[in-house]
Amino acid sequence: MSTEIKVPVLGESITEATLGEWLKKPGEAVAADEPIASLETDKVSVEVPAPVAGVMGEYGVQVGDTVAVGATIGVIEAGDGAAAKPAPAAAAPAPAEAAGQQAPASGGDTPAALSPSVRRAVLETGVDPATIKGTGKDGRLTKDDVLAAKSAPAPQASAPAAAPAPTTGGERREERVKMTRLRQTIAKRLKEAQNTAAMLTTFNDVDMTAVIEARAKYKDLFEKKHGVRLGFMGFFVKAATMALKDIPAVNASIEGDEIVYHDYADISVAVSSPGGLVVPVIRDAQDLSVAGIEKTIGDFGKRAKDGTLKMDEMKGGTFTISNGGVFGSLMSTPIINPPQSAVLGLHRIEDRPVVRDGQVVVRPMMYLALSYDHRLIDGREAVTFLVALKNAIEDPTRILIDL
Residue 42: C-alpha distances to residues 33, 131, 267, 334 (Å): 24, 34, 20, 21
CA dist., res. 7 & res. 69, Å (int): 5
Determine the Cα angle at 59 with ends 58 and 64, to 5°. 165
How far is CA 78 from its chain centroid?
Answer: 38
Given the residues 33, 284, 287, 378, the one annotated as active site:
378
Calculate the alpha carbon distances from 391 to 87, 112, 113, 206, 267 in Å.
67, 51, 52, 8, 20
Helix then strand then coil, % of the chain, to nearest 5: 30, 25, 40
Q: Omega before 396 cis (within 30°)?
A: no
Tell me the C-alpha distance between 179 and 6, whole Å: 24
| Cβ(138)–Cβ(128) below 8 Å | no
312 is catalytic: no
**Residues belonging to the chain:** 403
Q: Which of 246, 312, 374, 402 is catalytic?
A: 374
Please report, as a single letter, which amino acid is at residue 51.
P
Q: Is 65 a catalytic residue?
A: no
Q: How far is CA 183 from CA 17, 41, 43, 161, 272, in A?
A: 13, 10, 9, 43, 13
CB–CB of 369/203 below 8 Å?
Answer: yes
The rounded distance, in Å, linking the Cα atoms of 64 and 73 is: 12
Which amino acid is located at 47 in the chain?
A: E
Catalytic residues: 374, 378
